[in-house]
Amino acid sequence: MKSFGVRDISIRWKVAAIILVLVAISLLLAGAGLLLHARAAFEREVVQELTLVGDVVGSNSTAALTFRDRRAATQTLAALGNDERIMIGGVYDQNGRLFASYRRADVDLALPDVAPLGDAPTFAHGRVALTRSVELKGEPIGNVYVVADTREWSNALRAFLVILVTLFSMVLAVGLLVSLGLRFVTRPIEDLAHLMNRMVRERDFSLRARKRGNDEIGALVDGFNNMLEEIGSRRAEAERAQRELKTRVAELDAEVKERRRAEEELRRHTDELQRSNRELGQFAYVASHDLQEPLRAISGCVQLLAQRYRDKLDGRANELIEHTVSGALRMQALINDLLSYSRVSTRARPFEMCDVSEPLRQALANLEFAAKEASATVTSDPMPVASIDPTQLTQLFQNLIGNAFKFRAERAPKVHVGAQLKPGGYVFSVHDNGIGIEPQYIDRIFGVFQRLHNRNQYPGNGIGLAICRKIIERHNGRIWVDSTPGEGSTFYFTLPVGSVHHVEPSERFSSQQH
């Protein structure tokens, strides 16, 4: 159960309580001040009266003390009975002994035997005592001691307290009425509290507080209303943004589902394409291999026919036989090239870590005769160590460098094999100073059986660059060419970072054949 404390009281009653407490404290302080002032005034008045009485009695007792007339001194003290406040009185001689005394009939209080010393009045036990000196010609001859009661002050104090309590009650009542009348101050704050509770309960930010003036509370009401307006505006924006977010999430969900469906479809098509490519490559290999035997049989029979019946046939027949033998040999070359192309994927070896300079040396050894015939010069940058198929990379270098020897200009071929480390991996290059490639043919040269020149001019079936592209694709790289007709070409191919480990060889090699 929630406890209830002072802080939980309404601000209206807090203001009233503060006003009443302030009024009560003010009245108490004022009453205490008045009481102290009245007490001091009463004491001054009593002291003055007792001083006058003591001086009169002392003056009238001079002769009695001088002549030791106790009767005259007693008669002088009897005059004290005219003042109801005086309880006892006494005259003391020069030696301080009691000489004459007076005591009111209703008082049971004895005089001291020796005169009290000092002229200061003493207040104690509801009475005041005063000692005055009796002098003759400036010389002390005795003392007068007077004691009076202070019942008058007690009566005055009771009357004062009654008046003070009455006044205190009246002022508190007036203060309560005034504090209740201050509702015009607390009402706007109470309205704000009720409005806030209603707003929290109903979640309605369109509510507004009523402004009752242009004072500080009015400014507070304006600020509260502005805050409500800002909160309502931001809540509307948040709700609109939330709706837009939900719409966008739904759209993204639909896009994700569509993308997943497309990826699944793409994966299915990719799997089908890979399977089809494997089957196609296997079919090409099998078909090419199986076509070798009948083609060799046809070529052998035609050649045997030409040798045995060359003298018995006319020129046209001999020409047809030569065309048949040439076509069979060309067909056999095409089939061999097709077998080489299919072996890139069907007869490939596993990758292994290998110094790339080794496949390059093997390719140059295979091209030794062609290099001598063309008087070619081949240089190379340091090669890295990579995870490769050494046989296929040998075939790659052999095809690219061999093309540089084949498609040479009138000058001696110069070929440079480069290797540069890039952010994505190593970029290899094979640069030559040959005849170059026309820009419109650059996109065609990596296709199967694509030729740009006549066979009589440059031999070959147009399969070498297609094999190069397939080798690089198997190594997860790419191949392209930059060429300027008449100046030479540069073939580039890449190997990814994960497959290459940079190792500087001990020396750069060059091969020059004449």
3-state secondary structure of 296: helix
- Residue 421 confidence (pLDDT): 86
Measure Cα distances from 154 to 31, 148, 166, 230 in Å: 16, 13, 18, 70
Task: Inform me whether the pLDDT recorded for 416 exceeds 90.
Answer: yes
Residue 276's φ and ψ, nearest 5 degrees, are -65, -40
Euclidean distance between CA atoms 80 and 152, whole angstroms: 17
The H or E element that residue 358 is part of is: helix 357-366
Query: Mean pLDDT score of the chain, rounded to an integer?
Result: 77
Beta partners for residue 489, in sequence order: 483
| pLDDT, greater one: 162 or 314 | 162
Q: Is the pLDDT of residue 351 over 60?
A: yes
Does residue 297 carry a pLDDT above 50? Answer: yes
Task: Please name which of 418, 419, 408 lies closest in space to residue 371, comparing C-alpha atoms.
Answer: 408
Task: Mean pLDDT check: name the lowest of 48-57, 394-403, 438-447.
Answer: 438-447
Dihedral, CA atoms, 88, 93, 97, 103, nearest 10 degrees?
Answer: -10
189 backbone dihedrals φ, ψ, rounded to 5° = -70, -40
How many whole angstroms separate alpha carbon 54 and alpha carbon 295? Answer: 170
Residue that is written with structure tokens 């205490």 in the block: 32
* Confidence at residue 511, expressed as pLDDT on a 0 to 100 scale: 43
Query: What number of CA atoms fall less than 13 Å from residue 38's CA on the CB side?
Result: 16
Top-confidence range, 203-207, 352-356, 447-451, 460-464:
352-356
* Residues 269-280 pLDDT 10s: 767 766 655 555
pLDDT at residue 418 in the model: 93
Query: Cα–Cα distance between 287 and 8 in angstroms, integer?
Result: 99
Query: How large is the average pLDDT for residues 180-207?
Result: 69
Quote the pLDDT of residue 365.
93
Q: How sure is the predictor about 34, in pLDDT bands with cuts at 50, 70 and 90? A: confident
pLDDT at position 503: 47
Residue 514: band (very low, low, confident or very high) from pLDDT cuts 50, 70, 90: very low
* Span 234-271, pLDDT tens digits: 877 888 888 888 888 888 888 888 888 888 888 887 67
Q: What are phi and psi of 386, to 5 degrees?
A: -140, 160
| pTM to 2 decimal places | 0.40
Which residue would you say has higher pLDDT here, 58 or 313? 58
List strand residue ranges (DSSP E) for 230-375, in order.
352-355
Interval 327-339 mean pLDDT: 56
Who wins on pLDDT, 332 or 188? Answer: 188
SS3 labels along 411-461:
CCCEEEEEEEEECCEEEEEEECCCCCCCHHHCCCCCCCCCCCCCCCCCCCC
pLDDT at residue 457 greater than cutoff 60: no
Task: Select from 365, 415, 357, 418 the least CA-distant residue to 390.
Answer: 357
- Mean pLDDT, residues 4-28: 70
Provide the 10 A C-beta neighbour count for residue 156. 14
Give the three-state DSSP class for 100.
strand
In terms of pLDDT, which residue wins out, 203 or 149? 149
Angle between helices 11-60 and 151-181 (to 10 degrees): 160
pLDDT of residue 507: 40
Mean pLDDT of 466-495: 87
Q: Choose the weakest-confidence range: 277-281, 313-317, 377-381.
A: 277-281
Query: Hey, what are 452's tokens?
Result: 């740009």
Please tell me the predicted confidence (pLDDT) of residue 381: 92
The token pair that represents 308 in the structure block = 């045995």
Q: Please, are residues 221 and 209 in contact by the beta-carbon 8 Å criterion? A: yes
